[in-house]
Amino acid sequence: MPAAPLPSNEQERLALLHTLELLDTPAEPVFDRVVRLASRLLGVPVAAFSLVDADRQWFKAKVGLAVSETPREHAFCAHAIAQDEPLVVPDAAADARFQHNPLVTGAPDIRFYAGVPVRSSNGLALGTLCAIDTQPRTLSAEERAVMVDLAAVIMREVQYRERLAMARERLQDSDVALGASEARFRAVYDIASVGISLTTREGRFISVNPAMCQILGYSEEELRGRTFAEVTYEPDRAFDLIEFRRLMAGEIDFLRRQKRYVRKDGSLIWIEFDMKRKFNAAGQYEYNVTVVKDIHAQKLAEDALAALNADLERRVAERTAELAEREAELRSVIENANDAYIRLGADGRVLAWNRQAEHTFGWGEREALGRPLEELIIPAELAGAHREGMRHALRCGGGRLIDRRVELPALRRDGSRLTVEVRIRRMEVRGEPTFSAFLHDVTLRKQQDARREYESRHDVLTGLANRRALMEALPLAQARAERRQSSLGLLFIDLDGFKAVNDAYGHEAGDELLRIVAERLRRAVRRTDSVFRLAGDEFTVLLEDLKDALRDAHTVGRKLVEVLSEPVPLQCARMPVQVRIGASIGMAIQAPRQRRTPEQLIKEADGWMYQAKKAGRGRILPAPEVEPEPGRQPDAAGATAPAHAMRKG
């Protein structure tokens, strides 16, 4: 029986395994529940969470096993931890690695085995979640996904204990903790979508962030030493100076107003700014912190972040006091942000959750801290992608969402959905990766965009698709018909008698009549067919997958003529009335292997409709008895004439 290869990081793996103090410990519900669930969902008699020690495998949780450990040389799990993907053995008796294994030839008579490695935060394989059967079987893709998800639950708990152990070490080194705080603050400062600046008592810029430079159009070097008055539009300066003096005198705690800046290129930009004095731990004034929000461009205003900058240059003698001060400043930035701010650990659990996150998603900070993000705001269909994205970001240091702006669906606590714009930054704090995310609710903007997009392709009066939608849909339908080698038809419908109703009862009655006509057309065609309103009382119907093309299209057209000929009740200003109208319909057919442009089909159907009106109205042309030459149609005398657009008298 071939022995399982030792992982290249075996000593490091064993050291961490013993540090976690999981071996030879009593059973715990958090692991037992997962193992029981694996047994039930996969329908196997044996399931376990095993830890692979130097010379044994020990079962922390188990179902269907009488022993607590087995020699490592016999352990299937020793093979599973040596590979990246889950190990699946459909029939151990037919597998050269295991066919002579005592666990196969004797109790517990293993024939089927599946094991998913359980890894540390740094990817060290400590053990596996395994499923065992005494009969050969296969593992479906769905069952494989179930095992991976259940193993992830165990892995989060193991990694959580790993972080607790590491956290105890970190607390002993205040200098390292201070560096971590500064790294988090600098990340917030650099990725903020609002301008942040530090100014002196005289209003001169000491430091500006990239967003401030973008708002004003100057580089950081060009702004340093200038006063905020120099970049303020002259009519706005006087009130600025009055309020600024009140702030510096301590008459007010902060200064907030809207005004105009003059950009480097001379253009004006409306901004809203907040200015506040910054004092050190001894109560001495140091500088002013200003947060500038661009309200001239609404998109930047939505992304705005009201934030303060921590003092990155000053060091106090007492490291712990400085750490507390900097942590307080960071919390102030995050808590006063206009965006939801969430910080995640390497295991995907929430480490920070600001007030705007509470407001946006409905979860309180205490409820959110320590929980996986997929339990709070991620829709179920995206949970797997989120976990895979986290794993990829941990392995590769980046991913599709890192350092980019993307729009994603999210969930509120009450189950309602929203769309958020997300910006995520990955940081390393003492070798431990964490993720800072700013999320802005763009649901209203997306709804407005969707409404505008809908209205651009639909008729406002009837709700039907409009001419633009027809010109987009028709080439796609033609392409489908060509692929399927099927026929499609286009019906061009013009109402008979509509103008008389409109003239007799007014435009409101005419509009109501058009709405009723649209609804009757919608109900009369198949769900695979499409109805469009072109203009006035002109409509088209696109018919796909026709078998006997001309006869099928003529049958639909006859049905529409009958439907539209039924009396229509209208509620006029004076009294209810019933009116009757009719319809004249022209048809155009695209048969297999015919190459027709959308314009040719529309023109031909329009021409036949015109001939139907000339022939007495309430008709459908061409008749199904005669297959017309594409692009040609009979004139009133029976001769053929080119199709042409209808001209109404």
How far apart are the C-alpha atoms of 81 and 124, rounded to whole Å? 9
pLDDT of residue 318: 54
pLDDT of residue 476: 95
Note whether 289 and 347 are same-domain residues: no
Q: What is the CATH number of the domain that holds 39?
A: 3.30.450.40
Alpha carbon of 194 to those of 162, 210, 254, 271: distances in Å? 37, 9, 18, 10
Based on the structure, what is the number of domains in the chain? 4
Note whether 560 and 585 are same-domain residues: yes
Considering 395, 415, 442, which residue would you say is the last residue of a domain? 442
Note whether 156 and 258 are same-domain residues: no
pLDDT of residue 595: 85
pLDDT of residue 637: 33
Burial of 507 (0-12, 13-18, 19+ CB in 10 A): exposed
Note whether 363 and 319 are same-domain residues: no
Residue 624 domain flag: yes
Closest C-alpha among 121, 50, 68, 113 to residue 87: 113
Residue 100 domain flag: yes
Note whether 395 and 290 are same-domain residues: no
Note whether 596 and 507 are same-domain residues: yes
Buried b (16+ CB within 10 A) or exposed e, 172-207: eeeeebbebbbbbbebbbebbbbbbbbbeeebbbbb
136 phi and psi angles, rounded to 5 deg: -60, 145
> Is omega for the bond preceding 108 within 30 degrees of 0, making it cis?
yes
Note whether 387 and 326 are same-domain residues: no
Residue 5 domain flag: no
Note whether 347 and 236 are same-domain residues: no
Other residues' Cβ atoms within 10 Å of the Cβ of residue 122: 16
Residue 449 domain flag: no
pLDDT of residue 640: 36
Residue 469 domain flag: yes
Considering 442, 469, 489, which residue would you say is the last residue of a domain? 442
Q: What is the CATH number of the domain that holds 267?
A: 3.30.450.20
Note whether 521 and 595 are same-domain residues: yes
Residue 372 domain flag: yes
Considering 138, 169, 200, which residue would you say is the last residue of a domain? 169
Mean pLDDT in order along the chain per 10 residues (649 residues)? 82 92 92 94 95 94 94 92 92 91 92 95 92 94 94 92 70 48 60 83 87 91 86 87 88 86 92 88 87 72 38 48 64 74 89 91 92 90 82 69 84 91 84 86 84 87 94 94 93 94 89 95 94 94 93 94 93 82 95 90 95 91 68 42 36
pLDDT of residue 137: 94
Residue 607 domain flag: yes
Question: Residue 599: which H helix or E strand, with range?
Answer: helix 598-614
Note whether 618 and 470 are same-domain residues: yes
Note whether 54 and 192 are same-domain residues: no
Residue type at 170 in one-letter notation: R
Note whether 208 and 273 are same-domain residues: yes
Other residues' Cβ atoms within 10 Å of the Cβ of residue 349: 18
Compute the C-alpha angle 278/280/282, nearest 5°: 135
Other residues' Cβ atoms within 10 Å of the Cβ of residue 625: 8
Instruction: Give strand pairing partners of 257.
Output: 273
Burial of 277 (0-12, 13-18, 19+ CB in 10 A): middle
Residue 90 domain flag: yes
* Range(s) of the domain holding residue 409: 340-442
Q: What is the CATH number of the domain that holds 503?
A: 3.30.70.270
How far apart are the C-alpha atoms of 236 and 264, rounded to whole Å? 17
